[in-house]
Amino acid sequence: AARQPGSAIKPFTYAAALDPAWSGRAGQPPLTAASILPDLPTTFTVENADGALAAYRPQNYDRQYHGPVSVRAALANSYNIPAVEVLERVGVETLRTLASQAGIQTFTGRYGLALTLGGGDVRLLELTAAYGIFDDGKTVTPRAILKIEGLEIGEVEIGDWRFQSAATGAPNLQSPISNLQIISPQTAYLVTSILSDDVARSPSFGTNSVLSLPFPAAVKTGTTTDWRDNWTVGYSSERLVGVWVGNADNSPMAGVSGVDGAGPVWHDIMRLAHRVAPLSFARPDGLADVQICAPSGMLPSPECPRTRWELFAAGTQPTQPDTQYQRIAIDLATGMRATEETPDNRRAEKLFRVLPPEYHDWMVAQGIAIAPPAAEARPGDSVALAKSTAPPLRLTSPAGHTAYQVHPGMPQSTQRLPVAGLAADGRLWAELRLVVDGEVITTAQDATRLDGWWPLSLGEHRFWLEGEAVAGAPTTRSGEALIQVDEFRSDQLTYGVEP
């Protein structure tokens, strides 16, 4: 039966975007494994089955936003929002055509951007066979065991597998032709490189998970949002294995994901099928290894904080140095950018990460300092300017009007509350202080946010964040959060106690 593949279909979306021929059909230059994609709250406009326009807001599996992510990180970690961004770039019809040519015969309906998240049904055999293009870019046709008469090789009859018709379920003699070049060998190797990168996928799957094997292997999982289907499809240079886990009656499972359900089965089959470790994947000509600035995908600059090596199809590697990390001269008296009139004793260079405006809210939430805009500041105006331009402060934890309890049977050291606050627009503040009942519990200088812990204490307590935008400026305070801490009672719920 055909079932929804979840994220197991994503490699085909990325293959279309990485391949020059397929991306060219969509009028787009090819992406690279280092290309940066936005993983931000995004609303896409899609067309419903009745032709009406509607808003589509995908979410990631972890319900988090990861900001600017590389294609490698986006696919390896199976982030949903970047995958939808990529499909919007290449087009739904491009994905459907590529998947069909690779061997998936079930994409016959009308689909939207959710197709890249598993919105179209597939059969296990067809999806698994379609992954064969990531070996060298060519299709493979499965071979079926027709008869077993004994344990010797000559007593096992092998024949062609006849794919089923998507419409009738009857045998389809028009099964994919073997060795049909679908994507370039370089694109296939890039996808394989990403799917076999245990380090790249570790933020979502951890290191040494069931997706890791003691030999080179590429793998992708898939899970439907209602837990009805989960998948793991992966391959070595010698074997290709696909696993589906679900209920025959299509009822949902109890929170079983592709890595939890199908993953262990795939892992064990791959181990058994490779009693002798396979060779590494064959690397085609036409690829280049380039050291890049990891956060931006550009060539390293002196300010780049972290580099790594990336693989590129020849001719697609970056040629310009990183521009995300910039040293900007700051007027210490105003906190704004220094001007020609700023005296040397008030100038200081600070390193900022400069991203497009759409990343502003994400940067603030992450505590990343926002580079101040250019401003015309006159000598003598420093305090007034700082006061007028000082961004507000926001206490993010604890929430106001909440109740907590102290348990007498637990160590006091474990009964504590996270306290945090930030500058609402992400600018650096000269000093920030977290305050409880008028007492400072922690401070930071040249910071955009501040985090600390407060041991629970009986009674009513008030929390706020305060600080100065620049040295000598008036103190600014956030709003207060009022909480109540009582002794534990078994007939009441306990809120907010951190382990």
Mean pLDDT check: name the lowest of 29-43, 161-175, 355-369: 161-175
Q: In 407-468, at which residue ranges do the beta strands (DSSP E only) sit?
A: 416-423, 429-436, 439-447, 449-455, 459-468
- pLDDT-based confidence at 495, cuts 50/70/90? very low
Q: Select the highest-mean-pLDDT range: 46-55, 124-133, 145-154, 373-382.
A: 124-133
CB contact at 8 A, 270 and 236: yes
Token pair in block for residue 184: 């370039």
Q: pLDDT-based confidence at 172, cuts 50/70/90?
A: low
- The pLDDT confidence band at residue 329, using thresholds 50, 70 and 90, is very high
Bridge partners (DSSP) of residue 37 are: 69
Minimum mean pLDDT among 54-68, 344-358, 385-399: which range?
A: 385-399
Q: How far apart are CA 10 and CA 114, in angstroms?
A: 11
Mean pLDDT to the nearest integer, 58-73? 95
Q: What is the spatial distance between Cα 491 and Cα 489, in angstroms, rounded to a whole number?
A: 5
Lowest mean pLDDT among 69-78, 133-142, 159-168, 465-474: 159-168
Residue 290: its pLDDT value, please? 98
- pLDDT for 177: 61
The mean pLDDT of 329-351, rounded to a whole number, is 88
Per-residue pLDDT of 237-251, as tens digits, reads 999 999 999 998 888
Indicate if the pLDDT at residue 154 is higher than 80: no
Q: Answer whether residue 417 shows pLDDT above 70.
A: yes
Give the per-residue pLDDT at 169: 53
| CB-based contacts of 74, cutoff 8 Å, min separation 6 | 14, 37, 39, 82, 83, 86
Residue 496 is predicted with a pLDDT of: 37
Separation of alpha carbons 252 and 269, rounded Å: 25
**Whole-number pLDDT of residue 390:** 46
pLDDT at residue 493 in the model: 44
Lowest mean pLDDT among 49-58, 249-258, 387-396: 387-396
- DSSP for 175-222 reads PPPTT-B-S-HHHHHHHHHHHT-TTTTHHHH-TT-TT--SS--EEEEE
Tell me the CA distances in angstroms from 371 to 22, 54, 352, 361, one per residue in order: 39, 36, 6, 13
Beta strand 156-160 pairing with 36-39: unpaired
Contact 469, 386 (CB under 8 A): yes
Per-residue pLDDT reduced to its tens digit, 455-480: 999 999 999 999 998 888 889 999 89
Domains along the chain with CATH numbers: 6-140+176-273 (3.40.710.10), 142-174 (no CATH), 287-319 (no CATH), 325-387 (no CATH), 390-487 (2.60.40.10)
CA distance 449 to 366: 9
Reported as a pLDDT band with limits 50, 70 and 90, residue 53 is: confident
Could you give phi then psi for residue 67, rounded to 5 degrees?
70, -145
Mean pLDDT of the chain: 88
Q: What is the mean pLDDT of residues 359-363?
A: 90
Which segment of 22-36, 213-227, 291-305, 399-413 scores lowest on mean pLDDT?
399-413
> CA separation (Å) from 396 to 259, 356, 359, 469?
34, 25, 20, 18
Q: What is the pLDDT of residue 379?
A: 41
Q: 2 vs 130, 281, 418, 426, CA distance in Å?
A: 15, 30, 47, 48
User: What is the 3 state secondary structure string of 72-87?
Assistant: HHHHHCCCHHHHHHHH
**Mean pLDDT, rounded, for 370-399:** 62
The answer to whether residues 277 and 214 touch, using CB atoms and an 8 Å cutoff, is yes
Entry pTM: 0.79
